[in-house]
Amino acid sequence: MKKLVILGAGTGGTIMVNKLKRALPDQEWDITIIDKEPVHYYQPGFLFIPFGAYKERDVIKPKSNFFPSDVNVIYADIDFIDPNQNRIELANEKSLTYDYLIIATGTEIRPDQIEGMEDGLWRSSIFDFYTLDGAKALARFFETWEGGRLVVNIAEMPIKCPVAPLEFVFLAEAFFTRKGIRDKVEITLATPLSGAFTQPICNQLLSDTLVDKQIQIEPEFNIGRVDNEAKKIVSWDEREIPFDVLVSIPTNMGARVFEKSNMGDELNYIPTDRHTLQSVEWSNIFVIGDAADLPSSKAGSVAHFQSDVLFENFMSVINGNEPKAQFDGHTNCFIESGYEKAFLVDFDYDVQPLPGKYPLPGLGPFALLKETTLNHFGKLGFRWLYWHMMLKGYKIPVNSDFSMRGKIVPEEYAKTIPQE
């Protein structure tokens, strides 16, 4: 009997265990999924908790709700992986072997990588919102905060959900406006990027939105340390930004076991073929989602789109064929802008976000690179799709492959866009 082990039961791992359990014959395959804890977090919902829109109950469910009934489930930390011997050692001193391995361990924030981040002000004047505990602590802080300098800082790229810091400052602007203290709150986004976004069309739109909302941006700011006593962040080139409250998106890194196992890069991400999702070094290992070192965004939509490619390539490989399905870097995400409105972006490895309609050309119903109420409700509605369809590996009504259909290409960028 062949053994498949899936490491990580977040978005990517849960989708794959469901897809593959339905496809692989029970009498031929033994499937095991391993995760360190039994709670599944709807991580896009963390963004809403500091502003009171979501509570803890809205973003957590038991992982067991989403597993097929007859797969092996192990809740344990992974201590070591020996990919040359196809062996996994768990922290509880148990071990297991595999014929094929799917890595879906995601990424985590590492505030310990920034000097001073976890010193005296951590979770009193310095917060994150990429963890449930951090988002809840920030919600409690905002309940009584009367204003001052709010600084949102991205330490370095890549990060999970790269538009979330922008969403945070937009939602903060709306939140404090509704509380009647917007005139007492100075909001600054300090980013290592040269602007609000990495691509010119979207960057211009979002930068203009920041200006309209009187949110300052400090570009090309690479944090070197946090001065807790003086309440300021200091860049490597000694630029300083004072704060009263700092919302940090610290360094993101892959699971620490990959450093110990000598499998990852300098950020513990697994070198992965950007198209086939097969490990660069080990042909019986595949990687999905944030654990990979791909140049695509680390976002939930990416894991969903990758799952179709990974499924097809996994089935090819176990049947003795080459992996031929190609992941194109397809990413889409709603960008909350406050006041029950949002933008939507859709792009891939080669094509930047463009205006248009999605997912149906000319019909939508969602508008690309346009701030609409319907986009906002699309973002909220995604939570239902996530819990009831996506995690269970069911088909949802959008294509995994990126398409230019429905996109409008500004003339000045037409020559840079690949033709389908």
| Domain at 189, CATH number | 3.50.50.60
pTM greater than 0.85 (yes/no): yes
In a domain, 325, yes or no: no
In a domain, 328, yes or no: no
d(C-alpha 135, C-alpha 139), whole Å: 6
Q: Say what the pLDDT of residue 171 is.
A: 98
Regions in the chain scoring below 50 on pLDDT? none
Tell me, yes or no, whether 18 and 94 share the same domain.
yes
- Token couple for 210: 């920041």
* Contacts of 211 by beta carbon, 8 Å cutoff, 6+ apart: none
Q: Say what the pLDDT of residue 162 is.
A: 93
Which backbone phi and psi does 169 adopt, to 5 degrees? Answer: -70, -35
Tell me, yes or no, whether 187 and 232 share the same domain.
yes
Among 251, 285, 303, the domain-final residue is 251
Tell me, yes or no, whether 115 and 247 share the same domain.
yes
d(C-alpha 227, C-alpha 119), whole Å: 9
DSSP per-residue string spanning 86-138: TEEEETTS-EEE-SEEEE----EE-GGGSBTTTSTTBTTTEE-SSSHHHHHHH
Q: Give SS3 for 19.
A: helix
In a domain, 142, yes or no: yes
Q: How many CB atoms lie within 10 A of CB 322?
A: 9
d(C-alpha 215, C-alpha 209), whole Å: 9
Tell me, yes or no, whether 121 and 216 share the same domain.
yes
* Total domains, the chain: 3
Q: Say what the pLDDT of residue 362 is.
A: 85
Among 209, 225, 251, the domain-final residue is 251
Tell me, yes or no, whether 50 and 133 share the same domain.
no
Tell me, yes or no, whether 231 and 337 share the same domain.
no
Listed residue (28, 252, 297, 351) closest to 161, CA to CA: 297
Tell me, yes or no, whether 160 and 240 share the same domain.
yes
Tell me, yes or no, whether 115 and 35 share the same domain.
no
Among 318, 348, 370, the domain-final residue is 318
Range of the domain at 401: 333-416
Per the CB < 8 A criterion, the answer to whether 360 and 384 are in contact is no
Pairing of strands 2-7, 356-360: unpaired
In a domain, 217, yes or no: yes
- Per DSSP, helices labelled H in 180-299 are 200-212, 257-260
Q: Say what the pLDDT of residue 419 is.
A: 59
Q: How many CB atoms lie within 10 A of CB 229?
A: 9
